[in-house]
A and B are shown apart, each in its own frame.
Chain A
Amino acid sequence: MELTETTYSPLRTSNLAIGYSRGSRLNVVQQHLDLELLSGEMVCMIGPNGCGKSTLLRTLAGLQRPITGSILIDGKNMETLSAQDRAESLALTLTDRVEVDKMSVYEIVAMGRYPYTNRFGKLTEEDRMIVAEALAQVHLEAKAQRYISELSDGERQRAMIAKVLAQSTPLLFFDEPTAHLDLPNRVSIMLLLAQLAKTTGKSILLSTHELELAMQVADKLWLMSDRGVQVGTTDQLIADGSFENVFRSNQFSFNAETGRFIVNKPF
Protein backbone atom coordinates (compact mmCIF):
# COMPACT_ATOMS: atom_id res chain seq x y z
CA MET A 1 0.00 0.00 0.00
CA GLU A 2 1.28 3.43 -0.90
CA LEU A 3 1.65 5.95 1.88
CA THR A 4 0.14 9.25 0.81
CA GLU A 5 1.51 12.49 2.13
CA THR A 6 -1.56 13.16 4.26
CA THR A 7 -0.93 10.17 6.50
CA TYR A 8 2.03 11.97 8.09
CA SER A 9 1.07 13.37 11.47
CA PRO A 10 3.40 15.99 12.95
CA LEU A 11 1.54 15.98 16.27
CA ARG A 12 0.08 13.15 18.30
CA THR A 13 -1.02 12.92 21.93
CA SER A 14 -1.40 9.80 23.99
CA ASN A 15 -3.54 9.54 27.10
CA LEU A 16 -3.12 13.28 27.62
CA ALA A 17 -4.71 14.98 30.60
CA ILE A 18 -4.77 18.78 30.68
CA GLY A 19 -5.63 21.27 33.36
CA TYR A 20 -4.10 23.27 36.14
CA SER A 21 -2.33 22.31 39.29
CA ARG A 22 -1.86 24.83 42.04
CA GLY A 23 0.03 23.36 44.95
CA SER A 24 -1.62 20.05 45.72
CA ARG A 25 -4.94 21.08 44.15
CA LEU A 26 -5.44 19.52 40.75
CA ASN A 27 -8.03 20.81 38.30
CA VAL A 28 -8.26 18.37 35.39
CA VAL A 29 -10.08 19.98 32.46
CA GLN A 30 -9.86 17.12 29.95
CA GLN A 31 -8.31 13.65 30.13
CA HIS A 32 -7.66 10.47 28.13
CA LEU A 33 -7.03 12.48 25.00
CA ASP A 34 -5.60 10.57 22.04
CA LEU A 35 -5.52 13.18 19.32
CA GLU A 36 -3.52 13.70 16.17
CA LEU A 37 -3.04 16.36 13.55
CA LEU A 38 -2.32 15.42 9.95
CA SER A 39 -0.29 17.53 7.61
CA GLY A 40 -2.30 19.71 5.26
CA GLU A 41 -5.45 19.69 7.36
CA MET A 42 -7.19 22.46 9.26
CA VAL A 43 -8.76 21.38 12.53
CA CYS A 44 -11.14 23.65 14.42
CA MET A 45 -11.63 23.22 18.16
CA ILE A 46 -15.16 24.15 19.14
CA GLY A 47 -17.17 23.78 22.30
CA PRO A 48 -18.75 25.80 25.08
CA ASN A 49 -16.73 28.17 27.27
CA GLY A 50 -14.76 26.36 29.96
CA CYS A 51 -14.44 23.09 28.05
CA GLY A 52 -10.67 23.59 27.81
CA LYS A 53 -10.05 24.83 24.26
CA SER A 54 -7.43 27.38 25.26
CA THR A 55 -5.92 25.03 27.85
CA LEU A 56 -5.52 22.29 25.24
CA LEU A 57 -4.03 24.70 22.70
CA ARG A 58 -1.55 26.08 25.23
CA THR A 59 -0.62 22.59 26.42
CA LEU A 60 -0.03 21.38 22.87
CA ALA A 61 2.06 24.50 22.26
CA GLY A 62 4.21 23.75 25.30
CA LEU A 63 3.16 26.93 27.12
CA GLN A 64 1.84 24.84 29.99
CA ARG A 65 2.66 21.32 31.12
CA PRO A 66 0.30 18.39 30.71
CA ILE A 67 -0.96 16.79 33.92
CA THR A 68 -0.28 13.31 32.58
CA GLY A 69 0.28 11.71 29.22
CA SER A 70 2.53 12.77 26.43
CA ILE A 71 2.63 14.97 23.36
CA LEU A 72 4.69 13.73 20.45
CA ILE A 73 5.91 16.30 17.98
CA ASP A 74 7.33 14.71 14.86
CA GLY A 75 7.69 11.55 16.95
CA LYS A 76 9.66 13.24 19.73
CA ASN A 77 8.28 13.85 23.19
CA MET A 78 7.52 17.55 23.70
CA GLU A 79 9.08 17.48 27.18
CA THR A 80 12.46 16.59 25.71
CA LEU A 81 12.43 19.40 23.15
CA SER A 82 14.45 22.54 23.79
CA ALA A 83 12.82 25.96 23.44
CA GLN A 84 14.71 26.25 20.16
CA ASP A 85 13.45 22.89 18.79
CA ARG A 86 9.93 23.80 19.81
CA ALA A 87 10.13 27.17 18.05
CA GLU A 88 11.20 25.34 14.89
CA SER A 89 8.31 22.85 15.18
CA LEU A 90 5.34 24.97 16.06
CA ALA A 91 4.25 28.58 15.82
CA LEU A 92 1.19 30.14 17.35
CA THR A 93 -0.88 33.26 17.81
CA LEU A 94 -2.67 33.90 21.06
CA THR A 95 -5.61 35.96 22.16
CA ASP A 96 -3.18 38.37 23.90
CA ARG A 97 -3.54 41.54 21.90
CA VAL A 98 -0.17 42.73 20.67
CA GLU A 99 0.26 46.38 21.64
CA VAL A 100 3.54 47.45 20.12
CA ASP A 101 4.19 51.05 19.30
CA LYS A 102 6.55 52.02 16.49
CA MET A 103 7.24 48.60 15.01
CA SER A 104 6.58 48.06 11.33
CA VAL A 105 4.58 45.13 10.01
CA TYR A 106 7.76 43.92 8.32
CA GLU A 107 9.72 43.97 11.60
CA ILE A 108 6.97 42.03 13.40
CA VAL A 109 6.73 39.41 10.64
CA ALA A 110 10.53 39.16 10.53
CA MET A 111 10.47 38.19 14.22
CA GLY A 112 9.09 34.88 12.96
CA ARG A 113 12.65 34.25 11.74
CA TYR A 114 14.11 34.67 15.25
CA PRO A 115 14.61 30.94 15.84
CA TYR A 116 16.94 30.92 12.82
CA THR A 117 18.75 34.27 12.96
CA ASN A 118 21.94 35.17 14.80
CA ARG A 119 22.22 36.92 18.16
CA PHE A 120 21.42 40.30 16.62
CA GLY A 121 18.45 39.01 14.62
CA LYS A 122 20.20 39.78 11.34
CA LEU A 123 18.14 38.66 8.35
CA THR A 124 19.86 36.72 5.58
CA GLU A 125 18.73 36.85 1.95
CA GLU A 126 16.80 33.62 2.55
CA ASP A 127 15.09 35.09 5.63
CA ARG A 128 14.02 38.13 3.61
CA MET A 129 12.55 35.90 0.91
CA ILE A 130 10.58 33.90 3.49
CA VAL A 131 9.27 37.10 5.15
CA ALA A 132 8.24 38.52 1.75
CA GLU A 133 6.49 35.27 0.89
CA ALA A 134 4.65 35.24 4.24
CA LEU A 135 3.50 38.83 3.68
CA ALA A 136 2.30 37.89 0.20
CA GLN A 137 0.39 34.87 1.53
CA VAL A 138 -1.71 37.13 3.78
CA HIS A 139 -1.92 39.90 1.16
CA LEU A 140 -0.16 42.53 3.28
CA GLU A 141 2.76 43.39 0.96
CA ALA A 142 1.46 46.93 0.51
CA LYS A 143 1.38 47.57 4.28
CA ALA A 144 4.79 46.08 5.09
CA GLN A 145 6.38 49.39 6.10
CA ARG A 146 3.38 50.68 8.09
CA TYR A 147 3.43 50.58 11.90
CA ILE A 148 1.46 47.59 13.16
CA SER A 149 -0.46 49.93 15.49
CA GLU A 150 -1.88 51.71 12.42
CA LEU A 151 -3.50 48.57 11.01
CA SER A 152 -7.16 47.60 11.35
CA ASP A 153 -7.97 44.60 13.54
CA GLY A 154 -8.35 42.35 10.51
CA GLU A 155 -5.03 43.46 9.00
CA ARG A 156 -3.31 43.10 12.36
CA GLN A 157 -4.52 39.50 12.64
CA ARG A 158 -3.23 38.84 9.12
CA ALA A 159 0.14 40.30 10.13
CA MET A 160 0.28 37.93 13.11
CA ILE A 161 -0.56 35.04 10.76
CA ALA A 162 2.30 36.14 8.50
CA LYS A 163 4.66 36.12 11.50
CA VAL A 164 3.60 32.56 12.27
CA LEU A 165 4.10 31.56 8.61
CA ALA A 166 7.57 33.14 8.57
CA GLN A 167 8.53 30.82 11.42
CA SER A 168 8.49 27.96 8.84
CA THR A 169 7.05 25.32 11.16
CA PRO A 170 4.99 22.25 10.22
CA LEU A 171 2.47 23.06 12.99
CA LEU A 172 0.46 26.29 13.26
CA PHE A 173 -1.81 27.02 16.23
CA PHE A 174 -4.27 29.91 16.47
CA ASP A 175 -6.19 30.73 19.63
CA GLU A 176 -9.44 32.37 18.54
CA PRO A 177 -8.04 34.02 15.43
CA THR A 178 -11.39 35.58 14.55
CA ALA A 179 -12.16 37.17 17.93
CA HIS A 180 -12.93 40.91 17.79
CA LEU A 181 -13.36 40.82 13.99
CA ASP A 182 -16.41 41.76 11.91
CA LEU A 183 -18.15 39.17 9.73
CA PRO A 184 -16.28 39.77 6.45
CA ASN A 185 -12.94 39.59 8.29
CA ARG A 186 -13.98 36.48 10.22
CA VAL A 187 -14.84 34.70 6.98
CA SER A 188 -11.74 35.91 5.18
CA ILE A 189 -9.39 34.85 8.00
CA MET A 190 -10.96 31.38 8.23
CA LEU A 191 -10.82 30.90 4.47
CA LEU A 192 -7.23 32.13 4.42
CA LEU A 193 -6.21 29.59 7.08
CA ALA A 194 -8.08 26.75 5.34
CA GLN A 195 -6.39 27.66 2.08
CA LEU A 196 -2.94 27.88 3.74
CA ALA A 197 -3.36 24.36 5.12
CA LYS A 198 -4.05 23.12 1.57
CA THR A 199 -1.32 25.05 -0.22
CA THR A 200 1.48 24.72 2.32
CA GLY A 201 0.76 21.23 3.69
CA LYS A 202 1.10 22.55 7.24
CA SER A 203 -1.20 21.35 10.04
CA ILE A 204 -3.41 24.13 11.34
CA LEU A 205 -5.20 23.90 14.67
CA LEU A 206 -7.42 26.72 15.83
CA SER A 207 -9.95 27.36 18.55
CA THR A 208 -13.06 29.33 17.71
CA HIS A 209 -16.55 30.25 18.78
CA GLU A 210 -17.61 30.58 15.14
CA LEU A 211 -19.51 27.28 15.04
CA GLU A 212 -21.22 27.61 11.70
CA LEU A 213 -18.14 29.01 10.02
CA ALA A 214 -15.93 26.25 11.46
CA MET A 215 -18.41 23.58 10.40
CA GLN A 216 -18.20 24.80 6.83
CA VAL A 217 -14.47 25.31 6.37
CA ALA A 218 -12.72 22.87 8.73
CA ASP A 219 -11.34 19.59 7.47
CA LYS A 220 -12.01 18.13 10.88
CA LEU A 221 -13.56 19.32 14.13
CA TRP A 222 -12.51 18.67 17.70
CA LEU A 223 -15.83 19.05 19.47
CA MET A 224 -15.03 19.61 23.12
CA SER A 225 -17.39 19.38 26.06
CA ASP A 226 -17.38 18.11 29.63
CA ARG A 227 -17.78 14.62 28.17
CA GLY A 228 -14.47 14.76 26.35
CA VAL A 229 -13.29 15.53 22.84
CA GLN A 230 -15.11 14.09 19.85
CA VAL A 231 -13.18 14.08 16.61
CA GLY A 232 -14.75 13.98 13.18
CA THR A 233 -15.81 15.81 10.08
CA THR A 234 -18.79 18.10 10.33
CA ASP A 235 -21.01 15.51 8.65
CA GLN A 236 -19.91 12.73 10.99
CA LEU A 237 -20.54 14.82 14.11
CA ILE A 238 -23.96 15.90 12.87
CA ALA A 239 -24.89 12.34 11.94
CA ASP A 240 -23.99 10.81 15.29
CA GLY A 241 -25.87 13.51 17.19
CA SER A 242 -22.77 14.96 18.90
CA PHE A 243 -23.69 18.54 18.08
CA GLU A 244 -27.15 18.17 19.54
CA ASN A 245 -25.73 16.62 22.71
CA VAL A 246 -23.03 19.20 23.29
CA PHE A 247 -25.04 22.28 22.45
CA ARG A 248 -28.25 21.18 24.10
CA SER A 249 -30.08 24.17 25.48
CA ASN A 250 -33.66 25.29 25.96
CA GLN A 251 -32.79 28.59 24.34
CA PHE A 252 -31.74 27.23 20.96
CA SER A 253 -31.73 23.96 19.10
CA PHE A 254 -29.56 22.38 16.46
CA ASN A 255 -31.18 21.39 13.20
CA ALA A 256 -29.35 18.34 11.92
CA GLU A 257 -30.79 18.64 8.43
CA THR A 258 -29.67 22.19 7.73
CA GLY A 259 -26.66 22.05 10.08
CA ARG A 260 -27.78 25.32 11.65
CA PHE A 261 -28.65 26.57 15.11
CA ILE A 262 -32.16 27.93 15.61
CA VAL A 263 -32.98 30.27 18.49
CA ASN A 264 -36.14 29.30 20.38
CA LYS A 265 -37.99 32.55 20.85
CA PRO A 266 -39.71 32.59 24.24
CA PHE A 267 -42.16 35.29 23.09
Chain B
Amino acid sequence: MSRNLILFTILILLCLILTLADIAFGSVSVSPGNLWQAFIHPQADSLYTNIVFDFRLPKALTAILCGASLSVAGLLMQTLFRNPLAGPDVLGISSGASMGVALYVMAASWWSVSLLQSSWGMVGAAVIGALLVLMLTLGVATRIRQSVTLLIVGLMFASVAGAVVSILQNFSNPDAVKLFVVWTFGSLSAVTWAQMELLLPIIVLGLIFAFFLQKSLNAMLLGDHYARGLGIPVAAIRVMIILITGVLAGTITAFTGPIAFIGVAVPHLARGIFGTSNHRIAIPATILCGAALLLLCDVISQQTTYPLPLNAVSALFGAPMIIWIVLKQR
Protein backbone atom coordinates (compact mmCIF):
# COMPACT_ATOMS: atom_id res chain seq x y z
CA MET B 1 0.00 0.00 0.00
CA SER B 2 2.84 2.37 0.77
CA ARG B 3 4.18 1.99 -2.76
CA ASN B 4 0.79 3.10 -4.08
CA LEU B 5 0.83 6.04 -1.67
CA ILE B 6 4.21 7.18 -3.01
CA LEU B 7 2.99 6.85 -6.60
CA PHE B 8 -0.17 8.82 -5.86
CA THR B 9 1.86 11.56 -4.18
CA ILE B 10 4.18 11.79 -7.18
CA LEU B 11 1.23 11.96 -9.58
CA ILE B 12 -0.51 14.68 -7.57
CA LEU B 13 2.71 16.74 -7.49
CA LEU B 14 3.14 16.17 -11.22
CA CYS B 15 -0.40 17.42 -11.83
CA LEU B 16 0.29 20.55 -9.75
CA ILE B 17 3.54 21.30 -11.59
CA LEU B 18 1.92 20.75 -14.98
CA THR B 19 -1.01 22.98 -13.97
CA LEU B 20 1.39 25.80 -13.12
CA ALA B 21 3.29 25.19 -16.38
CA ASP B 22 0.04 25.22 -18.32
CA ILE B 23 -0.87 28.57 -16.74
CA ALA B 24 2.61 30.03 -17.32
CA PHE B 25 3.11 29.04 -20.96
CA GLY B 26 1.22 30.50 -23.90
CA SER B 27 1.28 33.31 -26.42
CA VAL B 28 2.16 35.59 -23.46
CA SER B 29 4.54 34.00 -20.99
CA VAL B 30 3.71 34.51 -17.35
CA SER B 31 6.84 34.49 -15.17
CA PRO B 32 6.72 32.73 -11.80
CA GLY B 33 6.88 36.17 -10.14
CA ASN B 34 3.92 37.50 -12.10
CA LEU B 35 2.03 34.28 -11.47
CA TRP B 36 2.64 34.68 -7.74
CA GLN B 37 1.45 38.30 -7.92
CA ALA B 38 -1.67 37.34 -9.82
CA PHE B 39 -2.64 34.80 -7.17
CA ILE B 40 -1.62 36.75 -4.07
CA HIS B 41 -2.65 40.25 -5.08
CA PRO B 42 -5.23 39.87 -7.81
CA GLN B 43 -5.97 43.26 -9.38
CA ALA B 44 -8.83 43.69 -11.76
CA ASP B 45 -6.87 45.94 -14.08
CA SER B 46 -3.67 43.90 -14.11
CA LEU B 47 -2.81 42.24 -17.45
CA TYR B 48 -1.45 39.12 -15.77
CA THR B 49 -4.41 38.82 -13.44
CA ASN B 50 -6.71 38.89 -16.47
CA ILE B 51 -4.68 36.38 -18.43
CA VAL B 52 -4.37 34.01 -15.50
CA PHE B 53 -7.94 34.16 -14.21
CA ASP B 54 -9.92 34.71 -17.39
CA PHE B 55 -8.00 32.44 -19.76
CA ARG B 56 -5.27 30.24 -18.36
CA LEU B 57 -6.92 29.00 -15.17
CA PRO B 58 -10.19 27.88 -16.81
CA LYS B 59 -8.12 26.29 -19.57
CA ALA B 60 -5.95 24.34 -17.11
CA LEU B 61 -9.04 23.31 -15.14
CA THR B 62 -10.69 22.17 -18.38
CA ALA B 63 -7.58 20.13 -19.22
CA ILE B 64 -7.75 18.42 -15.82
CA LEU B 65 -11.49 17.71 -16.09
CA CYS B 66 -11.21 16.61 -19.71
CA GLY B 67 -8.24 14.30 -19.12
CA ALA B 68 -9.83 12.81 -16.03
CA SER B 69 -13.32 12.29 -17.45
CA LEU B 70 -12.31 10.87 -20.84
CA SER B 71 -9.82 8.53 -19.19
CA VAL B 72 -12.31 7.25 -16.62
CA ALA B 73 -14.91 6.88 -19.38
CA GLY B 74 -12.35 4.82 -21.30
CA LEU B 75 -11.60 2.71 -18.22
CA LEU B 76 -15.31 1.99 -17.72
CA MET B 77 -15.70 0.94 -21.34
CA GLN B 78 -12.60 -1.29 -21.25
CA THR B 79 -13.99 -3.01 -18.15
CA LEU B 80 -17.56 -3.30 -19.47
CA PHE B 81 -16.46 -4.78 -22.79
CA ARG B 82 -13.37 -6.51 -21.40
CA ASN B 83 -11.60 -5.13 -24.43
CA PRO B 84 -8.28 -3.27 -24.07
CA LEU B 85 -8.98 -1.06 -27.08
CA ALA B 86 -12.39 0.20 -26.01
CA GLY B 87 -12.57 3.95 -25.39
CA PRO B 88 -15.12 6.59 -24.44
CA ASP B 89 -16.24 6.83 -28.07
CA VAL B 90 -17.14 3.14 -28.59
CA LEU B 91 -20.75 3.82 -27.63
CA GLY B 92 -20.93 6.40 -30.39
CA ILE B 93 -21.40 9.24 -27.89
CA SER B 94 -18.60 11.44 -29.22
CA SER B 95 -19.91 10.86 -32.73
CA GLY B 96 -23.38 11.85 -31.55
CA ALA B 97 -21.93 15.08 -30.14
CA SER B 98 -20.16 15.72 -33.46
CA MET B 99 -23.39 15.15 -35.33
CA GLY B 100 -25.18 17.62 -33.05
CA VAL B 101 -22.52 20.27 -33.58
CA ALA B 102 -22.39 19.66 -37.34
CA LEU B 103 -26.17 20.02 -37.60
CA TYR B 104 -26.11 23.17 -35.50
CA VAL B 105 -23.21 24.85 -37.30
CA MET B 106 -24.54 24.10 -40.76
CA ALA B 107 -28.11 25.00 -39.87
CA ALA B 108 -27.04 28.22 -38.14
CA SER B 109 -24.97 29.24 -41.17
CA TRP B 110 -28.11 29.00 -43.29
CA TRP B 111 -30.51 30.76 -40.93
CA SER B 112 -28.62 33.33 -38.95
CA VAL B 113 -24.96 33.92 -38.22
CA SER B 114 -25.72 35.61 -34.91
CA LEU B 115 -26.68 32.23 -33.44
CA LEU B 116 -23.03 31.19 -33.76
CA GLN B 117 -21.89 34.02 -31.48
CA SER B 118 -23.40 32.34 -28.45
CA SER B 119 -20.92 30.17 -26.57
CA TRP B 120 -23.79 27.95 -25.42
CA GLY B 121 -25.08 27.09 -28.90
CA MET B 122 -22.48 24.51 -29.82
CA VAL B 123 -22.44 23.11 -26.30
CA GLY B 124 -26.19 22.64 -26.35
CA ALA B 125 -26.10 21.03 -29.79
CA ALA B 126 -23.33 18.63 -28.72
CA VAL B 127 -25.19 17.69 -25.53
CA ILE B 128 -28.37 16.96 -27.49
CA GLY B 129 -26.46 14.89 -30.06
CA ALA B 130 -24.61 12.93 -27.35
CA LEU B 131 -27.82 12.39 -25.35
CA LEU B 132 -29.64 11.10 -28.42
CA VAL B 133 -27.01 8.43 -29.06
CA LEU B 134 -26.81 7.67 -25.32
CA MET B 135 -30.57 7.04 -25.19
CA LEU B 136 -30.40 4.75 -28.23
CA THR B 137 -27.47 2.82 -26.73
CA LEU B 138 -29.24 2.50 -23.38
CA GLY B 139 -32.36 1.29 -25.15
CA VAL B 140 -30.33 -1.43 -26.83
CA ALA B 141 -28.41 -2.25 -23.65
CA THR B 142 -31.56 -3.05 -21.70
CA ARG B 143 -32.73 -5.46 -24.41
CA ILE B 144 -29.62 -7.53 -25.00
CA ARG B 145 -27.60 -9.73 -22.67
CA GLN B 146 -24.26 -9.86 -24.46
CA SER B 147 -21.94 -6.90 -24.02
CA VAL B 148 -20.17 -7.62 -27.30
CA THR B 149 -23.38 -7.00 -29.24
CA LEU B 150 -23.56 -3.59 -27.60
CA LEU B 151 -20.03 -2.82 -28.79
CA ILE B 152 -21.02 -3.54 -32.38
CA VAL B 153 -24.22 -1.50 -32.08
CA GLY B 154 -22.27 1.45 -30.59
CA LEU B 155 -19.77 1.37 -33.43
CA MET B 156 -22.64 1.29 -35.95
CA PHE B 157 -24.26 4.34 -34.28
CA ALA B 158 -20.91 6.09 -34.63
CA SER B 159 -20.79 5.17 -38.32
CA VAL B 160 -24.29 6.49 -38.92
CA ALA B 161 -23.50 9.74 -37.09
CA GLY B 162 -20.28 10.06 -39.12
CA ALA B 163 -22.21 9.56 -42.35
CA VAL B 164 -24.73 12.25 -41.39
CA VAL B 165 -21.83 14.64 -40.69
CA SER B 166 -20.29 13.89 -44.11
CA ILE B 167 -23.57 14.52 -45.90
CA LEU B 168 -24.04 17.80 -44.01
CA GLN B 169 -20.51 18.92 -44.91
CA ASN B 170 -21.20 18.12 -48.53
CA PHE B 171 -24.12 20.57 -48.60
CA SER B 172 -22.61 23.32 -46.45
CA ASN B 173 -20.76 26.49 -47.26
CA PRO B 174 -16.97 26.52 -46.67
CA ASP B 175 -17.19 28.85 -43.63
CA ALA B 176 -19.51 26.53 -41.79
CA VAL B 177 -17.36 23.52 -42.68
CA LYS B 178 -14.27 25.32 -41.38
CA LEU B 179 -16.03 26.18 -38.12
CA PHE B 180 -16.99 22.55 -37.67
CA VAL B 181 -13.52 21.24 -38.57
CA VAL B 182 -11.91 23.60 -36.06
CA TRP B 183 -14.30 22.24 -33.41
CA THR B 184 -13.15 18.69 -34.25
CA PHE B 185 -9.53 19.77 -33.60
CA GLY B 186 -10.43 19.94 -29.93
CA SER B 187 -9.82 22.97 -27.74
CA LEU B 188 -9.56 23.54 -24.02
CA SER B 189 -9.76 27.32 -24.17
CA ALA B 190 -13.42 27.79 -25.05
CA VAL B 191 -14.83 27.13 -21.58
CA THR B 192 -15.96 30.27 -19.76
CA TRP B 193 -16.35 30.56 -15.99
CA ALA B 194 -20.12 30.52 -16.42
CA GLN B 195 -19.85 27.23 -18.28
CA MET B 196 -17.38 25.93 -15.72
CA GLU B 197 -20.11 26.26 -13.08
CA LEU B 198 -22.01 23.61 -15.03
CA LEU B 199 -19.09 21.50 -16.28
CA LEU B 200 -17.25 21.08 -12.98
CA PRO B 201 -20.07 19.64 -10.86
CA ILE B 202 -21.25 17.27 -13.63
CA ILE B 203 -17.78 15.82 -14.16
CA VAL B 204 -16.99 15.59 -10.43
CA LEU B 205 -20.33 13.85 -9.80
CA GLY B 206 -19.69 11.44 -12.68
CA LEU B 207 -16.26 10.56 -11.29
CA ILE B 208 -17.69 10.02 -7.80
CA PHE B 209 -20.40 7.72 -9.17
CA ALA B 210 -17.73 5.76 -11.06
CA PHE B 211 -15.76 5.39 -7.84
CA PHE B 212 -18.84 4.01 -6.07
CA LEU B 213 -19.15 1.30 -8.75
CA GLN B 214 -15.65 -0.07 -8.07
CA LYS B 215 -16.78 -3.39 -6.58
CA SER B 216 -19.14 -4.18 -9.44
CA LEU B 217 -16.52 -3.09 -11.97
CA ASN B 218 -14.00 -5.51 -10.47
CA ALA B 219 -16.54 -8.32 -10.67
CA MET B 220 -17.30 -7.40 -14.29
CA LEU B 221 -13.63 -8.05 -15.11
CA LEU B 222 -14.41 -11.76 -14.68
CA GLY B 223 -17.27 -11.57 -17.18
CA ASP B 224 -21.05 -11.18 -16.94
CA HIS B 225 -21.74 -14.72 -15.69
CA TYR B 226 -19.19 -14.64 -12.90
CA ALA B 227 -20.36 -11.18 -11.84
CA ARG B 228 -23.95 -12.45 -11.60
CA GLY B 229 -22.71 -15.43 -9.61
CA LEU B 230 -21.26 -12.98 -7.09
CA GLY B 231 -24.66 -11.33 -6.66
CA ILE B 232 -23.90 -8.29 -8.83
CA PRO B 233 -27.06 -7.04 -10.62
CA VAL B 234 -25.26 -7.05 -13.97
CA ALA B 235 -28.05 -5.61 -16.12
CA ALA B 236 -28.54 -2.61 -13.81
CA ILE B 237 -24.79 -2.07 -13.41
CA ARG B 238 -24.33 -2.13 -17.17
CA VAL B 239 -26.94 0.61 -17.58
CA MET B 240 -25.22 2.65 -14.84
CA ILE B 241 -21.80 2.23 -16.47
CA ILE B 242 -23.21 3.39 -19.81
CA LEU B 243 -24.97 6.32 -18.19
CA ILE B 244 -21.85 7.50 -16.33
CA THR B 245 -19.67 7.04 -19.42
CA GLY B 246 -22.19 8.90 -21.54
CA VAL B 247 -22.42 11.82 -19.13
CA LEU B 248 -18.64 12.07 -18.65
CA ALA B 249 -17.68 11.72 -22.32
CA GLY B 250 -20.71 13.54 -23.71
CA THR B 251 -20.41 16.57 -21.41
CA ILE B 252 -16.70 17.09 -21.88
CA THR B 253 -16.91 16.56 -25.65
CA ALA B 254 -19.63 19.20 -25.81
CA PHE B 255 -17.29 21.76 -24.26
CA THR B 256 -13.94 20.81 -25.79
CA GLY B 257 -14.71 18.97 -29.01
CA PRO B 258 -13.67 15.37 -29.51
CA ILE B 259 -10.25 14.66 -27.96
CA ALA B 260 -8.80 11.44 -29.32
CA PHE B 261 -6.67 8.67 -27.82
CA ILE B 262 -6.53 9.92 -24.21
CA GLY B 263 -9.50 7.77 -23.21
CA VAL B 264 -8.05 4.58 -24.67
CA ALA B 265 -4.42 5.06 -23.68
CA VAL B 266 -4.57 6.45 -20.13
CA PRO B 267 -6.30 3.48 -18.41
CA HIS B 268 -3.46 1.25 -19.65
CA LEU B 269 -0.89 3.76 -18.44
CA ALA B 270 -2.53 3.93 -15.01
CA ARG B 271 -2.90 0.17 -14.61
CA GLY B 272 0.67 -0.27 -15.81
CA ILE B 273 2.14 2.24 -13.35
CA PHE B 274 0.25 0.84 -10.37
CA GLY B 275 0.41 -2.77 -11.54
CA THR B 276 -3.23 -3.52 -10.83
CA SER B 277 -6.60 -3.65 -12.57
CA ASN B 278 -8.38 -3.30 -9.22
CA HIS B 279 -10.68 -0.31 -9.69
CA ARG B 280 -10.16 0.84 -6.12
CA ILE B 281 -6.69 1.91 -7.32
CA ALA B 282 -7.28 2.10 -11.08
CA ILE B 283 -10.00 4.79 -10.94
CA PRO B 284 -8.04 7.43 -8.93
CA ALA B 285 -4.88 6.48 -10.84
CA THR B 286 -6.66 6.97 -14.16
CA ILE B 287 -8.04 10.35 -13.04
CA LEU B 288 -4.56 11.62 -12.12
CA CYS B 289 -2.77 10.15 -15.16
CA GLY B 290 -5.45 11.51 -17.49
CA ALA B 291 -5.25 15.00 -15.99
CA ALA B 292 -1.44 14.98 -16.12
CA LEU B 293 -1.26 13.71 -19.69
CA LEU B 294 -3.76 16.21 -21.09
CA LEU B 295 -2.07 19.08 -19.21
CA LEU B 296 1.21 17.95 -20.77
CA CYS B 297 -0.38 17.79 -24.23
CA ASP B 298 -1.72 21.32 -23.75
CA VAL B 299 1.65 22.67 -22.55
CA ILE B 300 3.30 21.13 -25.63
CA SER B 301 0.65 22.50 -27.99
CA GLN B 302 1.39 26.03 -26.65
CA GLN B 303 5.10 25.87 -27.51
CA THR B 304 4.67 26.99 -31.14
CA THR B 305 3.78 30.50 -32.30
CA TYR B 306 0.33 29.33 -33.32
CA PRO B 307 -0.98 26.76 -30.84
CA LEU B 308 -1.13 23.27 -32.35
CA PRO B 309 -4.50 21.50 -32.56
CA LEU B 310 -4.83 19.58 -29.28
CA ASN B 311 -6.04 16.49 -31.11
CA ALA B 312 -2.83 16.38 -33.14
CA VAL B 313 -0.71 16.48 -29.96
CA SER B 314 -2.83 13.93 -28.08
CA ALA B 315 -2.71 11.61 -31.11
CA LEU B 316 1.07 11.97 -31.34
CA PHE B 317 1.24 10.83 -27.72
CA GLY B 318 -1.68 8.42 -27.70
CA ALA B 319 -1.16 6.49 -30.92
CA PRO B 320 2.37 5.21 -30.10
CA MET B 321 1.09 4.28 -26.66
CA ILE B 322 -1.72 2.21 -28.18
CA ILE B 323 0.75 0.50 -30.55
CA TRP B 324 2.89 -0.35 -27.53
CA ILE B 325 -0.16 -1.75 -25.73
CA VAL B 326 -1.15 -3.92 -28.68
CA LEU B 327 2.38 -5.27 -29.13
CA LYS B 328 2.63 -5.99 -25.41
CA GLN B 329 -0.49 -8.20 -25.47
CA ARG B 330 0.58 -11.76 -26.14
Contact = CB atoms under 8 A, between A and B. Distances in A.
Nearest to B84: A101
Contact of B82 (A92, A94, A99, A115): A99
Interface string A94-130: 1010111111100110011011010111000000000
B221 interface: yes
Contact of A96 (B221, B223, B276, B277): B223
B275 interface: yes
Size category of the B interface is 20 to 34
A111 B218 contact: yes
Interface of B: 82, 84, 212, 214-215, 218-219, 221-223, 225-226, 228-233, 271, 275-278, 280
Contacts, number: 71
Interface string A72-110: 000000000001101110111010101111111001100
Contacts of B276: 102-104, 107
A61 B230 CA distance: 11
Given A87-B231, A120-B215, A100 B225 contact: no
Given A94-B225, A121-B218, A83 B277 contact: no
Nearest to A99: B82
The 3 A-B pairs at the shortest CB distance, nearest first, are namely A87-B231, A121-B215, A115-B231
A27 to B, nearest CB: 17
B322 to A, nearest CB: 16
B152 to A, nearest CB: 20
B271 A102 contact: yes
A62 to B, nearest CB: 8
A108 B226 CA distance: 11
B214 A121 contact: yes
Name the prevailing secondary structure of the A interface residues. Answer: loop
A63 interface: yes
Given A63-B228, A102-B276, A103-B276, A114 B215 contact: yes
Contact of B226 (A84, A94, A104, A120): A94
A30 interface: no
Nearest to B279: A121
A147 to B, nearest CB: 9
30 contacts: A63-B228, A63-B229, A83-B228, A83-B232, A83-B233, A87-B231, A92-B229, A94-B226, A94-B229, A99-B82, A100-B221, A100-B222, A100-B277, A101-B84, A102-B276, A103-B218, A103-B221, A103-B276, A107-B276, A107-B278, A108-B222, A111-B219, A112-B230, A114-B215, A114-B219, A114-B231, A115-B230, A119-B215, A120-B215, A167-B230
